Each structure stands twice: as structure tokens, then as C-alpha cells.
Amino acid sequence: MRNQCLYWIVFIGAFFTIELMAQPLPAQSVDIPISVQQTMTTGMAGLTLNQTARLSVLNLNPVPMATTNVPANCNVQMQFVDSKNNSLKQSTLTNFAPQTATSLDLNAASMNIAGLGAQRAQIRGVVTVNPALPASNTVVPGYCTVMVTLEIFDNTTGNTVALTTDARVISHSGILPFMITNGNRD
């Protein structure tokens, strides 16, 4: 008798569990914060008169499926700075498409750095994801992950002298709430 009673309890419990699982869930929303701006730096690298430094950035975001209409709203600012954090050259790219790369070159011969007469300057690359843009720019910042590469190459031969992909995050700012409702992005 006890086994038969236990059987009915399990059967009824399983029936109601299946019925509850078949019902649509009530609308739920969860806010997930996403860092809007992130700045990364490479280490210092020596640059001589016959060399060029190339700072490259690869957007690691996946290419959206053809059925989704997601804009390429990753914005990236690249710059070279000297050992005293003075900006030497910079470039900003808006709507940086997923799975594409961009680069910024700094030719040592074109630099006007005090101390370059000593035939060598110390530089580093700085990359800011979703930098502050002018108010006239209507591009909406989005989330993207990037890979940063700093390469030093010889101008005469084109041979790479130094290469690093070691970039460190030096700041985060601007938190944007990201809303998910029933597993769909709003």
C-alpha cells in the first residue's frame, strides 16, 4: 500500500511539473552592465631613425548572422605616446566592423621628439575602445573586444624587429546597462 501511495505522489508531482514547464514564463528583465570605454597600453618600445612603429587593432566580435540587423558600432582610438605620455600621433575609427583590423603607423624619421638626436626614442601604443567622440558625432558606442599588436619594423628591409601582443588595461569608464528580457536583448 505504501509503495502504491508513493507511486501516485511521484506520478502527480511529475504531471504538475511537466504542466508548469509547458507554461510561458512571465516577462523577466535582467540588467547586465557593460563597460563602454576601455583603455589599453602596450609596453615601451625603442624606435630608431630607420624604423616604423605599427599599432594594429583587431575587432574580435563575431560577424552578426544575416538575419540580425546589428550595427557595427565599435569605435576605436589608437595613439602613440612618448615616455612622458605626450601624444605623438593618433587616429579614431568609428563603426569598426567585426573581424576586421586597422592600424596606425609612426615613422621615426617624421617624429619631432626631443632626444631623437640620440638616434632612439621610447614609445608605446595606447588603444581606447569607445573613446569620447565630438558631440556632433551621432555614432552610438557599443560593446567590442579587441586584440592589440605593436610591431617595430625596419624601413629599408621591411623586416620585423620587434612584435608584441601584450597589452594591459589601464582604465575602464562609463557603465551602460544592458537589458535582457526572456533571453532576448532589448
Rounded Cα distance between 172 and 162, Å, is: 28
The matching CATH number, chosen from 1.10.8, 1.10.390, 3.30.1360, 2.60.120, for 30-185 is 2.60.120
- Is the model's pLDDT at 157 over the cut of 90? yes
Rounded Cα distance between 15 and 34, Å, is: 41
Phi/psi-derived region of residue 158, left when phi > 0, alpha when psi is between -120 and 50, beta in every other case: left
- 129 forms beta bridges with 38, 76
pLDDT digits (tens, 9 = 90+) for 83-132: 999 999 999 988 888 999 999 999 998 876 555 555 789 999 999 998 88
More confident residue, 120 or 3: 120
Residue with cell 609596453: 43
**Residue-level pLDDT at 67:** 60
More confident residue, 161 or 175: 161
**Residue-level pLDDT at 63:** 83
pLDDT digits (tens, 9 = 90+) for 169-180: 988 776 554 544
Q: What residue ranges in the chain does DSSP mark as E strands?
A: 29-42, 45-48, 51-59, 76-82, 87-93, 101-107, 120-129, 146-154, 160-164, 167-181, 184-185
Q: What are the extents of the domains in the chain?
A: 30-185
- Burial class (CB within 10 angstroms; exposed 0-12, middle 13-18, buried 19+) of 143: middle
CB 90 within 8 A of CB 64: no
Weakest-pLDDT range from 20-29, 124-133, 160-169: 20-29
**Residue-level pLDDT at 31:** 43
Closest alpha carbon to 68 in 40, 39, 98, 47: 98
